Each structure stands twice: as structure tokens, then as C-alpha cells.
């Protein structure tokens, strides 16, 4: 799914460029590594964690090309116009971004507490998931200034690509570390 010239969401590939497909491949690789961690881990919370991570990486990879955050942005814009607060959208967007950042920090703390019994690899992967979650949600707000910042590039490498691939890399490296570590029986 993608946007047309009028900014409306429609069926199509969201990011048909090489970096888009490279990101999808990174999600698929992270999904496979998480799946393999799940297979290697004994039954219990650790196995459930890695299974959930594999499913999440698959869903985020699918979303990368379905571009569902564009639909979310369009829905927000339509609601703002319908209910008359479009003129105040910058304040609403700023509050939304601030809330997301705070929620991300709370989610990270909650996850780390919840995953306390799991190994360091799971906690690292959870941190990578929080980075990705915040990135995806902030990207969905479609702030002009945020879009400009995320579109900033050095040597033709955009910041949004670095942030997204960075979050995926944290997860993939954690899963790879887990796969290489000795099996720990509960």
C-alpha cells in the first residue's frame, strides 16, 4: 500500500526502492534468527518471548511494504478535519510525540522488569523492539518537521533508514548472540 499524488492511501508497494527492500530483508533475517532462538530455547517464558519476537519482526516487515502507518496518518487527518481541530494539529501531534516517547520509556522499563528472569539477549532484543516501536509510531504521525529530520541524509543515507535498520540490528545481534551462547536449562 502506498500514497497517491493526493496523499491518500491505496493498494501498492509502500517503499519500492532498494533501501525499502533491504529493510524488508533485514526484518525477515531478524524474524528467522528470533524463530531459531525460539526453537533452541526450552519451553517457558524465554521460548514465548522469542516466538513473539519472530512474529513481531514478520509483522513489521510486512507493514514496511503495506505502509499501514500512512493509513493511520490519513485516518488522523480525516478525524481532525471532521471534528474541527485540524488547525490545532501541531499541538496534538506534539502531545502525541511526547506521549509516545514517555510510553516508550515506560514500555522499556516494564519490558525489562517483566523479562528480568530471561537472559541478557532477550533484554537486548526487547530494547531493540522499543526502538522500533517508537520509530514506527513517530513516523506514523507524519509531522512535517519530523519527516524533514527523518529524511535528513548524509552521503545519500537517510536518518530514518539508519534508525529503522538500527533497531532491527539490535534485535538481530541479540538473537545471534543467543544462538551462539550455550543452552541454559531452566
What is the per-residue DSSP string for the chain? -EE-TTS-EESS-S--SHHHHHHHHHHHHHHHHHHHHHHHSPTTHHHHHHHHHHHHHHHHHHHHHH-HHHHHHHHHHHHHHHTT-GGGHHHHHHHHHHHHHHHHHHHHHHHHHHTTTS-HHHHHHHHHHHHHHHHHHHHHH--HHHHHHHT-EETTEEHHHHHHHHHHHHHHHHHHHHHHSPP---
pLDDT at 1: 43
Residue 72 lies in a domain: yes
Residue 167 counted as domain residue: yes
Helices 89-114 & 120-141 angle (0-180, nearest 10)? 170
Segment 101-145, tens digit of pLDDT:
788 788 778 877 878 888 999 989 998 998 888 777 766 665 555
Q: What is the pLDDT of residues 34-73, one digit of tens each?
A: 999 999 988 788 899 999 999 999 999 988 888 777 777 7
Q: Has residue 13 got a pLDDT over 80?
A: no
104 falls within a domain:
yes
State the average pLDDT over residues 87-108.
Answer: 81
Domain that holds residue 109: 65-180
User: Is 20 in contact with 64 (CB distance < 8 Å)?
Assistant: yes
Asked if the model's pLDDT at residue 6 lies above 80, the reply is no
Q: Is residue 58 part of a domain?
A: no
The answer to whether residue 163 is domain-embedded is: yes
Please give the residue that has the higher pLDDT: either 30 or 158: 30
- Look at residue 74 and tell me whether its pLDDT is greater than 90: no
Out of 62-66, 93-97, 98-102, 175-179, the most confident range is 175-179
Grid cell digits, residue 136:
514506527
Number of domains in the chain: 1
Is residue 44 domain-resident? no
133 domain residue, yes or no: yes
- 51 assigned to some structural domain: no
Amino acid at each position: 500500500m502506498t500514497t497517491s499524488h493526493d496523499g491518500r492511501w491505496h493498494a501498492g508497494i509502500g517503499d519500492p526502492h532498494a533501501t525499502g527492500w533491504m529493510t524488508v530483508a533485514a526484518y525477515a533475517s531478524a524474524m528467522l534468527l528470533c524463530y531459531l532462538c525460539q526453537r533452541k530455547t526450552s519451553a517457558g517464558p524465554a521460548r514465548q518471548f522469542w516466538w513473539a519476537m519472530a512474529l513481531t519482526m514478520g509483522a513489521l516487515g510486512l507493514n514496511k511494504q503495506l505502509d499501514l502507518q500512512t493509513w493511520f496518518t490519513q485516518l488522523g487527518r480525516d478525524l481532525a478535519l471532521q471534528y474541527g481541530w485540524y488547525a490545532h494539529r501541531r499541538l496534538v501531534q506534539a502531545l502525541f510525540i511526547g506521549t509516545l516517547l514517555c510510553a516508550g520509556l515506560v514500555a522499556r522499563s516494564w519490558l525489562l522488569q517483566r523479562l528480568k528472569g530471561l537472559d541478557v539477549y532477550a533484554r537486548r532484543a526487547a530494547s531493540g523492539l522499543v526502538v522500533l516501536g517508537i520509530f514506527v509510531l513517530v513516523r506514523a504521525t507524519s509531522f512535517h518537521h519530523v519527516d524533514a529530520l527523518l529524511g535528513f541524509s548524509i552521503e545519500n543515507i537517510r536518518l530514518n533508514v539508519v534508525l529503522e535498520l538500527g533497531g532491527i540490528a539490535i534485535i538481530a545481534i541479540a538473537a545471534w548472540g543467543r544462538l551462539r551462547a550455550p543452552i541454559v536449562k531452566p
